[in-house]
Amino acid sequence: MLFHVRMNVNLPPSMPQEEAAQLKKTEKELAQRLQSEGKWRHLWRIAGQYANVSIFDVESVDELHALLTSLPLFPYMQIEVMPLCRHPSSIRNNDR
């Protein structure tokens, strides 16, 4: 199942820089591992914002939920999820 996910990150201004840097480092490592595994298919930064748009390819909504809630920055995110399905006018034979 494909999902379009927008993540807006809002770290508290009072968070110590060292703590924020460690959270970001751990987040990056997990995001890159999930991309290597094919679960996090695309990741784009939204210019001028601490936000991204991503495409996830997972087996279920439950798997997506577990994956998103496992992100180190999850407690500081506002997340919007949109399930995707093939458009009848698409010229592509598959979702790869």
pLDDT of 95 reads 63
Angle at CA of residue 42, ends 38 and 80, nearest 5°:
110
Measured in residues, the chain has a length of 96
Question: Six-digit token pair at 12?
Answer: 């508290």
**60-83 pLDDT, tens per residue?**
999 999 999 999 999 999 999 999
pLDDT at 56: 98
Determine which helix (DSSP H) or strand (DSSP E) holds 21, and give its type and residue range.
helix 17-36
φ, ψ at 52 (rounded to 5°): -145, 160
The answer, as to whether pTM is greater than 0.85, is yes
Q: Of 49, 27, 53, which Cα lies nearest the Cα of 41?
A: 53
Which residues does 90 contact at the CB level (< 8 Å), separation at least 6? none
List, for the chain, all residue ranges whose pLDDT scores fall below the cut of 70.
95-96
39-74 in b/e burial notation, b at 16+ Cβ within 10 A?
A: ebbebeeeeeeebbebebbbeeeeebeebbeebbbe
Structural domains of the chain in order of their starting residue, each with its CATH number: 2-84 (3.30.70.1060)
